[in-house]
Structure 1
C-alpha cells in the first residue's frame, strides 16, 4: 500500500495560525504514571540489592542471563576486537568522525574550560578553578536502536575534559552486541562497559553496586524508562538533560533543491513517530515543490511508515510573509536542529537566537552534524534551547571559585561584609569580617 504524508499546511497570514501552530508544537514531557511507578520500584530495588537486582532485571527485560554482573562487563580486549573486526570503511569512518569531534571539543575546552585568576589593586586574588569530574556514566541505546555516534558524542568530550573514568552501559537484548557500538567505545576511550540497560542501568550508575561503580554524572539518550530514571536520580548525580522527540526546522528561501529539503525533513521524521519536522518558507510555490518531493520520495524510504506518521502527526509546511518572520517563528520554536537553507545563510543567522544547533547553507545537512561535522549532536529539545545548550566539555567539568584576600584587601572588604551581615541579622558573619580589621580587638 502506498503511504501518503498529508503534512499540515499552515500560513502565518491566517487568522487561526497561532492556534493551529501551538497545537502542532504541543508535546507533553510528562511521563506515564505507570512508567514512573515502575521506574521508582526498579531504582529502589537496585539501590537496596545492587548486583542481584541488576541481574534480575537484565534477565527479565533483555533476556540475558548471567551469574554475576562481572559477566556483563565488556573487556578492553573485546572492544578492540570489535573495532578490528568491522569493515575497513567503518573503521575509517569512525576514526575520522572521532577526530573531528575531538578537535571541536578541544577547541571548546580552550575557549571556555580553563582556570583563570587575577589580583586586584590591594593584592586580593580572585579567580576560577576548573576541574573535571572524576567519573561519568554514558547511556547508549541498544536493541532496535544502536547508535555508535552517541558513544562518540558522549565519551569524547568527557575524555577531552579530563574525566578519570568513563563507564558505558548499553543493553544487548538476548546478548546481541552491536559491533559498531563496541568499536566506537574503543575509539572514544571508554574505560569500562557493561551490557546493562534500562532504568536498572541508570540506578546502578547513580547508586553504585558491588560491581558497577557509582558515577558523578549520567549522560546519553534512552527510552521513556531511562528518561524517567534520569529525572529521579538527579540530585544524587548530575544528568545532561531529559530529551524529548527529535526535531528539525528548515528555514528555506526557495533556492535549495526541494528534494534536499524533503530528505532533510525525513531525516528526523524517521527517528520516531513523535519526531517533528517543520519547514518555514515565504515562497508558496516552493512549498508545493517540497510537498511534491515528499510525495515522490516517501515510499522509497525503508522507514516510510514511521516518516509518514511523524509528518502526519507533528509535521508542518508553513508559509510565512518573509524570511524575517520565519526567523521570528523559529525563535518561538527554539528547535533542536535548525537548518538555514538559503543562498545567503549568514544574512539570517544574526536573527536566530534559540536553537540547539544551527546549520548554515544548503550543503549543510543536519545528518552531517549527527555524525561527523564535529559539534556535539546531543542537543536540547522541546523548546529547551531557550535556556540550555548542547552537550559539551563544560558538562564534564565543574568550577570552583578562588578567593585569596590580602591583609590590605580585608580592610576594604571587611566593613562592607560586616554592614551587610548585620543587616541580615547574621552577627557571627559580621564579627568574622571585623576581627580581621586593623585596630579591632578580637
Structure 2
C-alpha cells in the first residue's frame, strides 16, 4: 500500500524534492469559494441552508444546535469514549497551562520614565472550525477549544458540518465533546460557508468573530485565504500529515496505527515512515494491511496511504533520517527510536 523511496545510497544537500508530496492547489479552490463566501455575506441563513443541501445533502432543522441536542449527545456517549476524551482534555489543558502560556505583561525601563511594555490580550470572540464531513474529529474540538479557554477568550463558537445520518445534526461525538468542554454555541454549518459565517456574521444567527481557527479541506483553506483581512485566521493549513521516525526497536503495530490516525482524516492526508530498518518497514506494511481491513474508513485510508503524498523512506541511519525529517517538516512528527529524546533535539 505504501510506496518506498530508498535513499540509503544517496547523500543530498536537500532531500525535500525527493520526498512524498501531494498536490494542493489553493488558488484553484479560490474560484469555487469566492461566490460561496459572497453569498453567505449577502444572503445569510438562506445561503447557509442552500449550501448545506448542496454539499452536506441535508437541511438542518436548526443551524444553531439546540442545547437539548448537546445534552442528549453527552448522555448517550459511550463511557469508554467519554473517559478517553476527558483524559485528552485534561492533558491538553495541562500542556497549555504549563508550557504554552506566557506572562500577560512584560516591560523594560529604558530610562527613567521610559518604559516599553508588551501585553498579551486575548481576542474577544473566536470561531472554531471542526471538520466532520468524513469522520468525527473530537480531537479537533479539544485542540481548538482548550487553548482558547486557557488564553481567556471571552466567547467561543464551534461550527461543524451537519450529517444526514443524524437528521441534520453534527456527529454526536463532536457534540458530546463540545458539551464536555462547556461550549454552548455550536453551529451545524460546514465547509467554506462556515468560515464565511464567522467572518461576516449572520444577522439573527451568529455574530461575527475576531479570529477563525481550525483545520479543514482545501475549500476551508481557500475560504480562509479569501477572507483574510475581513477576519483574522490562524494559518492556511493544508491536508494533515504525519512523519514517523522509527528504528528496529519500534513496535510496528504502534507505528502503523499512528500512520493510519492521520490518513483517515482525508484522502489527501500524508503518512510517511522514515526508517533505517527494512524489517520494520515490512512489518509496518503488514500491520497497516491488517488494521485497515478492520476499519470503516478502509476505502479512504487506502486512497490516502497509496497516494503520492504517503510512503516509506528508507535511510542509511538515523543521522540521515533526521536530515530527511527536517527536509519534510511534517505537521506531526513522532520519533520512535532507542534514543528518541536525543534525536528530538536535532529536529528543527
The answer, yes or no, to whether TM exceeds 0.5 is: yes
Aligned to 1:195: 188
CA distance in 1 between partners of 2:21 and 2:151 (Å) = 36
Note the C-alpha offset of 1:145.
2.0
1:233 aligns with 2:227: yes
CA distance in 2 between partners of 1:23 and 1:324 (Å) = 17
Larger Rg: 1
Aligned to 2:218: 224
Query: Which of the numbers 142, 145, 150 marks the counterpart of 1:160?
Result: 150
Q: Closer, same or farther in 2 for the Cα pair 1:217/1:349, shift >3 Å?
A: same
Note the C-alpha offset of 1:165.
0.9
CA distance in 2 between partners of 1:41 and 1:333 (Å) = 35
CA distance in 2 between partners of 1:50 and 1:87 (Å) = 36
Q: Which runs of 5+ in 2 are unaligned?
A: none
Q: Closer, same or farther in 2 for the Cα pair 1:351/1:201, shift >3 Å?
A: same
Note the C-alpha offset of 1:291.
4.0
Note the C-alpha offset of 1:146.
1.7
Q: Which runs of 4+ in 1 moved over 6 A?
A: 17-21
Note the C-alpha offset of 1:128.
0.9
Note the C-alpha offset of 1:62.
3.2
Aligned to 1:10: 6
CA distance in 1 between partners of 2:193 and 2:206 (Å) = 11
Note the C-alpha offset of 1:143.
3.7
SS of 1:351 mapped into structure 2 = coil
CA distance in 2 between partners of 1:59 and 1:312 (Å) = 32
1:332 aligns with 2:318: no
SS of 1:168 mapped into structure 2 = strand
Instruction: Give the TM-score, by structure 1 length.
Output: 0.70
Aligned to 1:362: none
CA distance in 1 between partners of 2:256 and 2:338 (Å) = 17
Q: Closer, same or farther in 2 for the Cα pair 1:180/1:288, shift >3 Å?
A: closer
1:242 aligns with 2:236: yes
SS of 2:175 mapped into structure 1 = helix
Q: Which runs of 5+ in 1 are unaligned?
A: 354-442
What does 1:34-433 align with in structure 2 at a 5 Å threshold? 35-65=29-59, 71-108=62-99, 110=101, 112-174=102-164, 175-210=168-203, 211-294=205-288, 298-314=292-308, 315-353=310-348
Identify which range, 275-284 or 230-239, moves more after superposition.
275-284
SS of 1:131 mapped into structure 2 = coil
SS of 1:248 mapped into structure 2 = strand
CA distance in 2 between partners of 1:328 and 1:66 (Å) = 49
Q: Determine if contact 1:199/1:229 at 8 Å carries over to the other structure.
A: yes
Note the C-alpha offset of 1:284.
3.6
CA distance in 1 between partners of 2:78 and 2:293 (Å) = 30
Aligned residues: CA RMSD: 2.7
Q: Determine if contact 2:128/2:159 at 8 Å carries over to the other structure.
A: yes
